[in-house]
Structures are given as structure tokens and as C-alpha cells.
Structure 1
Amino acid sequence: MPAADENAEDANPYVRDPPTEFEPVDDLSAADAERDVELLRAAVREHDRRYYVENDPIVADRTYDALFARLQDLEDAFDLSHPDSPTRSVGGEPIDAFETVEHVAPMLSIDQSGEAADVREFDERVRRELRASEHADDLQYVCEPKFDGVSMEFVYEDGSLERAVTRGDGREGDDVTRNARTIGSVPQQLHGDYPEFLAVRGEVYMPKDAFQAHNRERIERGEEPFANPRNATAGTIRQLDPSIVADRPLEVFYFDVLEASDLEDSHSAELERFPKWGLRVTDHIEYADDIDEAIDYRDRMLELRDDLNYEIDGTVIKVDDREAREELGRTARHDRYAFAYKFPARAEVTPIVDVAVQVGRTGRLTPVALLEPVDVGGVTVSRASLHNPEEIAEKNVNVGDTVRVQRAGDVIPYVEEVVEKGSEGHYEFPEACPVCDSAVERDGPMAFCTGGLACDAQLRRSIEYYASDDGLDLEGLGEKSVRQLVDAELLESVADLYELEREELTDLEGWGETSAENLLSELEAAREPPLADFCSALGIPHVGPTTARELAREFATFEAFRETAETEPERLEGVDDVGETVAQQLHEFFASDKNAAAVDDLLEHVSPQEADTDAGGEELEELTFVFTGSLSDVTRGEAQETVEAHGANATGSVSGNTDYLVVGESPGQTKRDDAEANDVPIVDEDEFRELLAEYGIALE
């Protein structure tokens, strides 16, 4: 079990003062490559241990990167890959699902309370039950932080990581070994004199600074941020694609032995051995001879809580002696030798640790305060709106300030006031968009990115809006799928929707032949959209479905509408629902070179239909239709225009107010389910035509 000679520092040239320039791979023999791979693996593991466990790296980051890249090159060139290699930390191919496996030993929960009286009662019980034992007189507790992350089992055989399993129900969990291998503080191979078999319990977490940075990136990309570090960790560790896990900043603390071929007599002795094996432990472990010392430890950790770079929600008090633990036993739910003394929830007042700027669909920039998680009305909040630059200045709020957070209507958190100033001045709003670096323009209290559809954040939101109920109602293109398509670099513009191919879609996680075919059918049916729908789908500020319908009736063709907006915007003010502000927004939208280019690209794939400028009849007045799937002789847009021309409403989603769901070929299942749930009649194309004929209307 001791490390081989080549792992020793003095025998491994890649540990201290390693070279960063190497012989060409083609000049190496297979034997030389195999030898260097073993040395490089050992060296990288040693550098990982020093970085993650000892916090004492001996090489610069660039040097480490060079060694890691060399190892990867050699493994690829000579087919020397191995599951235990540090290079596995870069991820791998996605998997279809996780296998459920049984734990080596039960991973039980822990009894807990926030009251000191309950902690003392735990101590009294322990001493009472050990009274007849030799352990009663020398009882000692180990006090540790109670990490607020995701608990997991890590199993090592002959020092090699065999599997990593989520806690699950405490008896069995999901095998997430491939994901765990991507975490830098999870050693693939143990160091030193380790047991032949070792199962340890660890807590996977996202450091607070990394969590805030990751949330900032998500906000600036237009994605929904995580509520707190624990949610971020739980959502990450169960990703089916290990490369996603590798890109997210996870760490691990190890805190217990579940089973081992060589057990120590005490928990403290085990914890002392963990770093020698390469298993990272917290620096904040203390020992208590009585319960008062354990309570004092919790109070000191409460004061230290905000200074730690990881979330804790209390402390854990454990009996140290292993034989005493066995005597105390366990219930069906928790071990009787341990107790968690919880912290009170942070309430309403919390510090701002960062400010992110979110870019909306229209380019509006919204500042968001990233907070130390705080309880507001029973909900954990880690972000709050700062509304706009003017309000930031008025409240004199900045990073480092302690603020009071409230929730508007019990939904949207916002910063109410600064309670304690921890900074100088207020947050200075950026002069360039944080996503595309385009200039930021102010409009009264608001700020806007001038990048338009060329801005990635606006692009994502624009595609989502283009496909939404207020746009072309493209089923199967929600926030998650749009983000997936953009991240896969399949969409760099709205127009790219019409160039998607079946094989590209089915290669993505979660996409099958049916879902791919349904989306392509939706897109094909949307190549000749009603003019009003197309105008609304462009996402022009202040131009929703109602305004778009009025513009379509006024100008009949997209060309006439666009030309007027570009050259004679004052004429737009004569249209119902269009005033001076909307007319100016329309002019600025089409005058933008970036927007004009994006619209031109879109028009290469889409031909908006000419609108009927007649007021139409009222035969279908008060009826509401929803369409799904493709119709045979007319487009879905043409069918919508027909019913609207005769007084009906055509909406994008089914509700209790819907009168008919018209189903064509390759329909969306969601709308059918909603129709059945709301007792809405479902009609096919022939029945729809017959219905119109009853009112003297022909669908042509």
C-alpha cells in the first residue's frame, strides 16, 4: 500500500521544479511513454493533494497546466487512458441515467435542534447510557461544522476510487462516480499508508465565492440563477453530462469513516489520517471534554460563519470513541452518538457580496444584488433586485453593504435599505454591456444595451420570445431547450432555427426522434407566419400581439411596415395603440444595423403573409381557438388569421376560456393534455372546416 518509488519526490522529475517543455510525442517509444505517464499521474496527484488538502502548492498554475496537458497528450497518443487517471477530471461522454447502488454502510440522518436545552439533553442521555461503561469517565466530543451541501459516499479499494454514491434514502443512492472524478478535491488514488478498503462520507459543496461568480455568469447569460450553494451543488452533481460538472466549481470535505479494513479506535484519529491519505478536512475541528465546551464551540462558529467560504448551518457534536459509539447504537433514522446544534436562520438582514447585471430581451439592464443567503418570510433568498441605476444611487448601495431585504407581494425580493455601510459610495453602473460589450445608453432611470440581437443574452431571450405564445407559438422551444441549443452552438441567430437538422437535435441529451421531428414540423409550419405574429415575434420593445395586429392591419405587408418605421416613423403614430414612444422604439429598432442584419437573415427563411386590412366579420365573436400541429392545405398562421378575421380570438395556450383545440399533424402533447384537463373540445382539421362552414366561412 505505500506509494511506489517513482512516486517519491526525489525520484519524480515532475514534482519539484518540473520541466514545462517536452520531447515531441512522436519521438517517444511506447515504453518511455508508459513510464512518463506513470510519473506524470503521480506528480499531478501530488500537486492536487498539496493544492486541495494542504493549501500549499509547490508549482504555479501554468506549470500544473503544462504537466496535465502533457499527460493528456501521452495518454491519447499511446492509448494509455485509465479510470483512475487525473485526466478523467475533464469529464466524459454523457450517460443516459444513474445506476442505483446500495451503500457500504447506512448513511443515516442526524438528530438536531437549535435549542441549547436539547443539546444538554443529548449529553445527559449519552452519559446515562454509557454510565455502566468504561467510556463514561473519559467521554470526549469531536466538534465539527455542519456543512450545508450534498452528502456522499466515496469507496476506495486498494487506494483507488471505486465509486461515489449520493446519499439517496440512506440505504442506497445514485452512482455518480463519473461526475465525482471531475472534482479536483476528490483523489482518484489515495496517498500514504491507506487501508485496503475504505468507505468515507464526504460533503460536496460549492464555495461561496465560486457560487456567487457562477450565479453572476448565469444572470448575465440570461439564465435563472441558483437559489443557494446547496441547490447549485445538488443540481450539478446529478448532471448526466460529466463535462458540465467539470465546468462547475465543486469541492469536498471528508468527515467520517463508514467502513474500513483498518479502523481506528477513535473518530479524531481517523480525521488526523485523512489528510495523509489525500482526503481534505476542514480546519475548524475542535475537541470538547464536556457539553459546555461543545456549546461554546457552536457559538464561536456562529460568529465565524460569515467569514467562511462555505455554507454551514450549525455544528455537529460527535462522541469520539468508536466503541462508545457502538454501545450507543442507532435508531432507524439517525445515529445516537451525534447531535447537530443548528444556527438560527439569517433573517432579512444580510451583506451584498456582488452585483450582477442581467440583460433582458429588450436590452434593458437590471442590476441584481447577490447576497449571503438569508431567510425572508420563510424563503431562502440569495439575490434581490436593485431595480435601476437611479435607485442604486438613491439608496447609496454597494458591494460590502449590509442591507435589509424584503419580498414584493411575497414573490420578488428587493433591497429595501442599507442597514450598515461597508463600502464607499454606491455601485457604479457599467458603461458597456457585460455580455456583448456594446455601449450602454440611459433612458431616464433605465439603462439599455445597444447590442440588439447581436447580444448573446438578448439573442437567447429573443429566441425564447420568438417561439413563445406571443410570438409564433413554436411548441418544444422553451427556456431549457433554447439554452441547450445555444450552448451547443446550433443557434447563433433567430434565423438559425430554420437551419436545424434532425441529426443535430438527436445528438443532444434528452432529444429523441419524435421530439426532433415535432420541432422541425413546427418550424416548417412557421415559414409563412401571419404578419401580426411575425411582427410580435421580433420582440420589438412595446410591440406585443395587440400592437402588432394593429400594425399588420394598417400596413398589410412587412415591407411597407418596415420602410415606414425606418423612414417615416411619425406616420406610425396614427395607428391605434401606437404613440410617440412606440413609434420611436420601432424606428430605432429597424435603424440599428445589427437588428436590420438579423431581420434580413430571418427573411431568407420566413415569408410573412400579407394581412387582410378589412375589419372582417363577427361570425365567430366570443369564440377562442388554439391550434397545434400542421394543417394540410393552409398554414397554422393562415387558420389563425381566418378565425380572427371573423371575430374570434386565436391564442397560444389552452385554458378554461378556450372553446376549441384544433389538432393537425404532429401535434404537441402539452396542449392536448391541457385541453383534456379543462374539458376543451378537441377537433381535427376536417371537423374544424365543418365548424367554419356552419358559420358560412371557408378555410382557403
Structure 2
Amino acid sequence: MSLADENENPYLREPSTEFAPVEELAEEEAEAQADVLREAIREHDRRYYVESDPLIADRTYDALFARLQDLEDAFDLATPDSPTRRVGGEPLDAFETVEHVAPMLSIEGSGEEADVREFDERVRRELGREARYVCEPKFDGISLSVVYEEGVLERAVTRGDGREGDDVTRNARTIGSLPQRLHGDPPDFLAVRGEVYMPKDDFQAHNRERIERGEDPFANPRNATAGTIRQLDPAVVAERPLEVFFFDILEASELPETHHEALERFPEWGLRTNDRVELAECGEPRSADDTSGDTRDAIEAAIDYRDRLLEERDDLPYEIDGVVIKVDDRAGREELGRTARHDRWAYAYKFPARSEVTTVQEVAVQVGRTGRVTPVALLDPVDVGGVTVSRASLHNPAEIAEKDVNVGDTVRLTRAGDVIPYVEEVVEKGSEGHYELPDRCPVCDSAIERDGPMAFCTGGLTCRAQRRRSIEYYAGDDGLDLEGLGERSVRQLIEAGLVESVPDLYELDREELAGLEGWGETSANNVMSEIEASREPPLDEFLSALGIPHVGPATARALAAEFGTFDAVRETALEEPDALEEAGEIGDTVSETIHEFFASEGNARVVDRLLDHVSPQEAAIEEGGEELEGLTFVFTGSLSQLTRSEAQEAVEVHGGSATSSVSGNTDYLVAGESPGATKREDAEAEGVPIMGEGEFLSFLASRGVGI
């Protein structure tokens, strides 16, 4: 009896999800129920992923799955091929390198029709006959070799160098459309090639979640897939929306005579195939309404297939970058053979890269360190200046309204320098009206308030997105410069639950740090030493490190010089914010921002906790010269011979001013590596001279300022 028989298995059609409590079951009853549930869930997986014809609702499936998991946990009944393995497992230390059962070679290809016809001519010449081709979409994902023995998943291995790859079996088990046990009557030994991918809609949703968590989005679905399948923690893989198509047999104990026959048998075994696969044969009419009797040869049919898929490309739920044309009969494949790099019986007819014009699929809301809310357009990936782009800044609500941008619109992108691209214009409206920013922060649910054209989350340091960035900023170059606590390390500390806000840095445990992946005793000791050395920071560095909006190193130095102690700055900000304007460049907008920062109850709690660990020094003002008196500098980009903070300090110590934005009063813009486009554009508009780092240092030397 097959446990997946509809007449025998009560969990296939209209199953009851009312179960007796697990603790009331005898072990034999639990084991029998678990066996029946496993077979039912495997059948439901096949009907959902392969047949696209589910028998039950998602909610019912979830209840069956949860029951199986409860039984396995309570009675230790888990099996290696249980569907519950999809929820992940213990993290791996590293991947094992495994040799493939058969080479996984690359596919020769081109975007030129003449090259495709040349491939066909070579095939016919070497075979001495016409060929029949199987045409398939060329998926833009990650190839896997998946091996089944006696119908049970044995291993899954990345392509690697084609001869050997990484064993990612535990990650592959989490993919719902990759069966852990085959159906029907498969060969005793079967190694198949599949392509793991992330569906477009799921990719956009995943990117939106990453942006709203304050993480960098993936550039395209392929990068997202590659970054996921090689995660060392299977539980992370289980949370991400991966799917798989199977499209070839690498090795088997029994081989069908043709590739097309194999693809027809895949669904019988529970292996998901793509429904856009077609046969290209000689003797077909040139078109559906052609009554002339003329016929086309197989390669013309394959070229027509490619052209049709190119037109339909944007409507497909997955990314493809061309089509693959394969000789169908296996005898012909053996005769054609392979080179060291690719099979000679297959050819990829590639699509041209999308360029500059694309569609807005979603709009995500990104919350910055200062609470600024920036809408980000999530796009169909497109080539802009040789770089694949899947997101673009929409800057602020005012610009969205001005350009009338919304989800579904076709837009043209512009990319200036190395900065994030932005939407230049709407080419074609696919929506009504423009995107409206939400009233509440998507991260902390605090109110979003408008400040002119900008929008800000009012959550302050109680907002998770602002907290994470505040930690990064506190430890960064414009903060206390804590070596070893860069963006990646901070994210790791947060994900491990060791840090939630800045004060937690001073409560870290050395042993817990050393136990993190990639750390060890030396790294942990170094970071703990950096943190310990920061307990008595200079006042200006501490003020800058707090991440108060509009208070960078230059403004922080002005505040320190004017008020001398942290308590004096804080008290003035709370009780006499107008008095802050006595500190150099500070105007009414900045003074109001500083007041709001310290007046926030959430911020006050974080600052008070921080002061339990940190004692900012009183300001020691260095008397400088007048070599740069009357000159105002603005800095952009990164400097190599000194930090921007050091450059700004050198200017101010010698009588000059260092401000954060370009205006008509600016004398020089100093541009380091990767400068911001806005400051350069403002400088050009105001006629402000732009000098590189070398020119800046030479200028200082000419004025008698040594660095």
C-alpha cells in the first residue's frame, strides 16, 4: 500500500486538522501517524510545485506540517528525508568540496543569430543529418547537481568549477520544490541538473524587507540566490524564497533515449520542470497561418522560440537571460561530445541586456541613521552604465509627486558616478497618480513627519533601523573610530542578539564574542580593547558619535569649544537651545534639531545608559594660527592620507571653516575618492573651485600649514 494513496491516507483530501494532544499518544501511534503525514506532505508538495494543482489550502498544509514537526520533536522520529528538514538545522562550519558524478560544463553562447546558425551547421555537418532541438529558457540562477539513490535525496552540489563543487545538501533540503524523495518509478541512481532561482515577486519582497531592516538589497535575483544557497546556516536559507527547475540528466542507471522524453518523465518522479520548454523540428509551417506549404528547419524554429521569449521576458515570474538550444537525441549528443569547457551539443542564444528603461515593481521605505525616510524604487533589474541595477532612489515625497512616479510605471534611470541610480523620468504610466509615503514608520511604527520636502521617522533611537545605524556610526570614522566594529561586524552582533543599542557595546562578553563565526580569541580581545579605550573619549568625538542630526565632526568641535563639557551642551540644548547658535556655524535649524534629539525620551534613556559606561573629557581647545582665516572648505568622498575629520580639524585650527554643504560662501570643495554627486553639482553651479586631495595638501603647505 502506498501511504500517498487517496483511499488510504486521510491527510490528502479534506483532511481533519483536529489532532489528539501529542502527550496522549503512544510511541507506536505517533510513529504511524508521522509516516502517514510524511507521505501526505510529499504528495501535497508534488501537487503544489510540480502539478500546480494543490489539493488543500495553505493553512491546512501548515497545520499538517506543524503536526508532523510536533510528533518528530516529541518522539525523536525525524528522518533524513522528512519534509520537516526544510525548516533548516544547525549551522555548518564550512562546506565540503565534492566531485561531481558527471561534469557540469558551461554552455557556449552568443547574442548573434549568425553564431546560432553556425552552431546548427556544425551539428548537421558532424552528425550527417538534420537535428531536432529542445529549446528551454536560460534561467538566471545557480546550477546544482542533485543526486538521488533508490529515490532518496543523497546530496546536492553547486556547479563550482564544473568538476567539483560545494556540498549544499542541508541548504537544498529547505527548498520546497526540491523533493527529498522521488515519486513513481525513477532509476535506482539518478543525478539531475537543476537551476535554483528566486522568483521576481519574492525577490522584490525580500529586498523590500532588507531595506526596511536597514540592510543593503541584493542587486538582482541571481545574486540573492547565490548569496542564499551558500549560507552556512540552513535556517537562514529556509526563510528565503528559493525555487528550483530541473532540466537535464547528468547520469542515471537508466537513460531515456531522448532529452525530451526525460523531461516528460521528470514530473512523474516529482521533479519540477518549466512549462515553456518546446521541441524545434524540421518540417513545421513557417507560421500558424502560412498555407504556402513552405516549412522551416529546426534552427529557424529555435530562433523563433528565442524571439518569442524575448518579447514575453518581462511577463515571466522568473529572470531569464536567453534560451538554451539542445540536441534532443542522446546518441547525437555522445557523437558530438564535449570540449574541456562546454558540451558541443548545446548552445545559448542570449538576450540583449536591458538598458536604462525599466519598471517600478515596488517602493520600499528606508530609514536612515538620522531618521530620514527615503523611498526606494525596486525595479526589474536593468543595465545602467555597465552595472546591473535593481533599485533607485526616489529621494523624497516632493520629488515623487513632481515626477508622478508610482508602482507599475516604466521609468528611465540615471546613474552619476558610483552613487545609487535615481529615477530621471516616467516614460510610460502604468498606474494612477503617484506613490504616497506611509504615515507610520515601517520599522518601529512611529509617526512619520514632514520637514519641507523631506520626511523623518520620529522614533529616534527607539527605532530599530536608527539604532543599528547609530551603532555603526558611533564606532565609525566620524564617531569614536573603534577598529574591528565595521558595518558587517555590527550586523553580526545584532543578529546574534548581543547588541541592540550603543550602550550594549560596553556590556559585551569576551567569550560570546570569541564564539561568533569568523572571530576567535584574537579578534574578540582586539575589539574589547578598542571598546575599553573609548570609555573616556574627547568631548567633540563623543558628541559627533551620538549621531545627532546635522552634528558632524565640525559642528561637534564647535560645540565642545563653546561649552566645554557634555553636561553643559545637553543642558543648553534642553533649556536654552537658541544659545547653541553661539557655537560658530550653528543656525536655528541645527539648534532645534539638537534640542529635539536631547528632548526625546527614548534618546534620553539611551544617552543615560551610555553615560553609565562613558565619561566624555572636558574640551581642551588648541589655539591655532590664522593661516586659513576667512576661507571656507567643504569635503566630499574619502581621503587617503588623512581622515576627513582630521582635514576639517586642520582647517579650523588654522583659522578656516569646514562646513557640511556647498553654498555661495564656500571657497573650495575638496573631493576625495567616490565623491558625492550633489556636492560636485552644487560646486559647479556656484562656481566653487574643486580640488583633489593632493591639491588640498599642496595648498595647505603653500599657506604654511603642515599635516
Common fold by TM > 0.5 = yes
Matching residue within 223, 237, 260 for 1:245: 237
Q: Matched residue of 2:421: which SS?
A: strand
Contact 2:280-2:299 at 8 Å conserved across structures: yes
Q: Which residue of 2 aligns with 1:32?
A: 29
Contact 2:135-2:323 at 8 Å conserved across structures: yes
1:46 partnered with 2:43: yes
AA at the equivalent of 1:520: M
Offset from partner CA, 1:338-392 (integer Å, 9 cap, x none) = 1111111111111111111111101111111111111111111111111111111
Contact 2:475-2:482 at 8 Å conserved across structures: yes
Q: Which residue of 1 aligns with 2:80?
A: 83
Q: Matched residue of 1:529: which SS?
A: coil
Q: Which residue of 1 aligns with 2:263?
A: 271
AA at the equivalent of 1:184: G
Moved more, 29-38 or 447-456: 29-38
1:21 partnered with 2:29: no
Alignment of 1:401-420 (within 5 A): 401-409=409-417, 411-420=419-428
Q: Where does structure 1 lack aligned partners over 5 or more consecutive residues?
A: 628-641, 649-656, 658-700
Q: Which residue of 1 aligns with 2:573?
A: 565
Q: Which residue of 2 aligns with 1:281?
A: 273
Query: Quick one: distance in 2 between partners of 1:437 and 1:24?
Result: 38
Contact 2:562-2:582 at 8 Å conserved across structures: no
Contact 1:206-1:251 at 8 Å conserved across structures: yes
Query: Quick one: distance in 2 between partners of 1:359 and 1:411?
Result: 18
Query: Quick one: distance in 2 between partners of 1:580 and 1:386?
Result: 28
Matching residue within 133, 137, 144 for 1:145: 137
Q: Which residue of 2 aligns with 1:463?
A: 471
Offset from partner CA, 1:428-452 (integer Å, 9 cap, x none) = 1111111111111111111111111
Query: Quick one: distance in 1 between partners of 2:341 and 2:527?
Result: 47
1:344 partnered with 2:352: yes
* Deviation, structure 1 residue 617: 7.2
Q: Which residue of 1 aligns with 2:224?
A: 232
Alignment of 1:572-611 (within 5 A): 572-611=580-619
Matching residue within 335, 345, 349 for 1:327: 335
Alignment of 1:135-284 (within 5 A): 136-137=129-130, 139-284=131-276
Query: When the two structures are superposed, what TM-score results if normalisation uses the length of structure 2?
Result: 0.85
Q: Matched residue of 2:522: which SS?
A: helix
AA at the equivalent of 2:522: T
Moved more, 79-88 or 201-210: 79-88
AA at the equivalent of 1:537: A
Q: Which residue of 2 aligns with 1:317?
A: 325
Aligned pair in 2 of structure 1 residues 645, 381: CA closer, same or farther (>3 Å)?
A: closer
Contact 1:186-1:279 at 8 Å conserved across structures: yes
Matching residue within 293, 298, 310 for 1:302: 310
Query: Quick one: distance in 2 between partners of 1:511 and 1:8?
Result: 52
* Deviation, structure 1 residue 143: 0.7
Contact 2:3-2:40 at 8 Å conserved across structures: no
AA at the equivalent of 2:169: T
* Deviation, structure 1 residue 118: 1.0
Q: Matched residue of 1:169: which SS?
A: coil
Q: Which residue of 2 aligns with 1:691?
A: none
Query: Quick one: distance in 1 between partners of 2:596 and 2:607?
Result: 14
Q: Which residue of 2 aligns with 1:673?
A: none
Alignment of 1:361-440 (within 5 A): 361-409=369-417, 411-440=419-448
1:72 partnered with 2:80: no
Contact 1:615-1:645 at 8 Å conserved across structures: no
Aligned length: 622
Offset from partner CA, 1:45-67 (integer Å, 9 cap, x none) = 11111111111111111211111
Matching residue within 97, 101, 113 for 1:100: 97
Matching residue within 532, 556, 559 for 1:551: 559
* Deviation, structure 1 residue 277: 0.9
Query: Quick one: distance in 1 between partners of 2:425 and 2:304?
Result: 33
Query: When the two structures are superposed, what TM-score results if normalisation uses the length of structure 1?
Result: 0.86
Aligned pair in 2 of structure 1 residues 557, 410: CA closer, same or farther (>3 Å)?
A: closer
Query: Quick one: distance in 1 between partners of 2:570 and 2:226?
Result: 48
Contact 1:616-1:645 at 8 Å conserved across structures: no
Q: Which residue of 1 aligns with 2:6?
A: 9
Structure 1 residue ranges (4+ consecutive) displaced by more than 3 angstroms after TM superposition = 614-618, 624-627, 642-648
Q: Matched residue of 1:432: which SS?
A: coil
Offset from partner CA, 1:294-322 (integer Å, 9 cap, x none) = 11111110111101110000011111111
AA at the equivalent of 1:379: V
Query: Quick one: distance in 1 between partners of 2:589 and 2:24?
Result: 70
Query: Quick one: distance in 2 between partners of 1:579 and 1:61?
Result: 58
Q: Which residue of 2 aligns with 1:689?
A: none
Q: Where does structure 2 lack aligned partners over 5 or more consecutive residues?
A: 282-297, 629-639, 644-648, 656-671, 673-707
